[in-house]
Amino acid sequence: MAGAPFVTPYHQAFAQAVTSAADNAHQSTDDEIVLESTFDLKTYLRENPLAPPDTSSPRASLESFILLMDQASTVWREVRTAFHDSNERLLSDADELKLQQVRALLDKASGVFDLSGIPETARQRASLEISLQFQEILDRIYLPKMADVPGSAAGSFLNSMAIAQLPERWTIPGTDLVFERTRVPGAGSRFLMTRESVALIPEDYELIKAFAPREDIGDDLYAYYIYTPGNLVAPKWYDLIRAGPAWLGNHIFSQAYWQWLALFLLTIVAISLPVVLSRWDRMRAVSVLEFRRRLRSLQLPILIIGTILVYRYLIEEQVNITGSTMVAVGTVSTALVWTCLGWLVYRFIDLASVWIIRNPVGTGQPMDSSLLLTAFRLFGLVAGLIVTGYGATRIGIPVYGVIAGLGVGGLAVALAAQPTLENLIGGIILYADKMVRVGEFCEFDDLSGTVEAIGIRSTRIRALDRTMITISNADLAKRKIINYSRRDEYFLRHKLGLRYGTTEVQMAQLIEEIRSYLEQHEMVAEAPLRVRFVGMGSYTLDVEIYAYIKTADRNMFLEIQEKILLKAMEIVRDCGADFALPSSTNYLAQDSEKAPVWPLAPQDLLDSTATDAPKTFG
């Protein structure tokens, strides 16, 4: 039939067990189990508030669950009825305390389930729903007498030897819900409902919820829980929704229409806030201070985390989204929170590095500052990845298992990451050998410029024409590097070209005076220092000045060089000599015969031509 739900043979058998098992004389109800139980739950909880339920046998697990849920349901209904009958807008402190007790009982009741198949971030909320659904299933099926269930009564807490004598598993009659012996870290063997059975509970509940409970025990607490706002007890503002259009209370995919509408609106608001802040931040003026810029970069991850936390609170505690939708919202929001936390950790460490570099220790050593900045960035990156990886494990992604399994594909990863690793090692070599520092002027083969930054992968160089050159660390480490900023002294070498008219006396005098001036100059090194007549050029007599200037500052060197050259010019002219200019001497000679004088007159030109004409012989 079109539109009819698909029913498996298991579902048919399950429904048949619900309707026909009433004739079985060896079956009991939850209330009978509670009355027959000799376990004093209130005394046990008062004396052992942190103790888990007794799961030492299938009977103890089932009976503990029924006793805990019976106590929680009773207190829950009492608080709900009292609050709805009162005129108070909020729950009293006494009612809040009782609801905390209900949550504690529900949490203990979920201890009989193997919840390893549910992501940890959604486990607490999902376990509450599983407990309520399983309770509603038990209210609609007939259970066997507790004496027929393997094991001892709740509260017996069997030892390991007694547990070993019990069967490995026990199935609730008429269902596929199985209690199985499970190894619990730190607690030994316990009988828990298997994760496969836990996954079947929501489906079984949807099948059986249309059947009436075996006894008039009140409304369906699970239905009340998922279709009302608040946590366990609906707030008074829910009356406004109930007074609204009737269609707001209709259900689809285990949520009421009003819940879907609230989820949509809250999601739009949660997405809009970071987007608006990001655009507004881009329009603001950028601070010239590096520390302020880094501090400003913390705003966006903090806002995203705060928005998600408020969003989760409204979704879970007020709107009360449940089921698979809650698991999806919880998983995505948790992933975003931990990702932003990793981002925030990286940004915070980056901010700390800027603050540390601003102190006097870092200011005087640019290379150390660059090394410190790179080290902080590496540390921040690793810390951020660790935080994000831990967040991934919270949503069920086995990150550490994936990392451990990288050994299989380690070779492929190493080959793929070879350029990156090579550049990283190249950067380490630059730091370790101290080839260059930030702010130094260097020449790299055909490149030259001032080093502005040494990063993890590349180095940035500001060329003389103010262009930015980026070169990988691995390539830079292999190049011939001439570091001009590491010079302790500047080399001064010039040749003075004097005229050939300079006499020997003038030459000797000016050489002595220039040498004497340099020897008395406080910025000229004592040795080596030479002023010599070194050669006779094509048109100059060459005098070489050879010395070292005691400064590492190029601007100061140029100033001192200028003064020395001006003084040399003055000495040369005072000695009566002068500097040679490029010149050439042309010598003209004339033959003894009268040579024609050019240009010739036209008649002379004709005569000359006739005279020089070749003769012919007949």
CA-wise closest residue to 302 among 353, 341, 349, 354: 341
Confidence of residue 198 (pLDDT cuts 50, 70, 90): very high
Boundary-marking domain end, from 233, 264, 298: 233
27, 168: one domain = yes
Boundary-marking domain end, from 199, 233, 267: 233
Question: Of all helices (H) and strands (E), which one includes residue 546?
Answer: strand 541-549
Query: What does 436-478 look like in DSSP terms, one character per residue?
Result: --TT-EEEETTEEEEEEEE-SSEEEEEETTS-EEEEEHHHHHH
pLDDT tens for residues 143-172? 888 888 998 888 777 777 888 888 999 999
277, 138: one domain = no
384, 278: one domain = yes
Please tell me the predicted confidence (pLDDT) of residue 487. 80
On whether the CB atoms of residues 136 and 220 are closer than 8 A, the answer is: yes
For residue 438, tell me if it sits in a domain: yes
Neighbours of 601 (CB within 10 A): 9
Which residue is listed with tokens 């090394």? 371
Beta-carbon contacts of residue 528 (< 8 Å; ≥ 6 apart): 546, 547, 548
Please tell me the predicted confidence (pLDDT) of residue 616. 41
319, 345: one domain = yes
505, 467: one domain = no
Please tell me the predicted confidence (pLDDT) of residue 130. 93
CA-wise closest residue to 449 among 457, 458, 433, 438: 438
Please tell me the predicted confidence (pLDDT) of residue 168. 92
Is 515 a residue whose pLDDT tops 70? yes
Question: Of all helices (H) and strands (E), which one includes residue 300?
Answer: helix 299-313
293 to 296, 358, 446: CA distances (angstroms): 5, 14, 36
For residue 591, tell me if it sits in a domain: no
- Residue 524 CA, distance from chain mean position: 56
For residue 249, tell me if it sits in a domain: no
For residue 263, tell me if it sits in a domain: yes
Please tell me the predicted confidence (pLDDT) of residue 601. 53
Average model confidence (pLDDT) across the chain: 79
CATH of the domain at 532: 3.30.70.100
Residue 533 zone, left/alpha/beta (φ > 0; ψ -120 to 50; rest):
beta
Q: If DSSP codes are grouped into helix, strand and coil, which group holds residue 542?
A: strand
pTM, to two decimals: 0.59
For residue 111, tell me if it sits in a domain: yes
462, 343: one domain = no
Is 228 a residue whose pLDDT tops 90? no
Number of domains in the chain: 4
For residue 495, tell me if it sits in a domain: yes
Whole-angstrom Cα Rg for the chain: 47
For residue 349, tell me if it sits in a domain: yes
Window from 50-59, 523-532, 599-608 with minimum mean pLDDT = 599-608
Which residue is listed with tokens 């027929």? 148
Mean pLDDT value of segment 220-249: 87
432, 351: one domain = no
Confidence of residue 608 (pLDDT cuts 50, 70, 90): very low
60, 183: one domain = yes
Window from 84-88, 432-436, 550-554 with minimum mean pLDDT = 432-436
Q: For residue 456, give its domain range.
A: 419-485
78, 165: one domain = yes
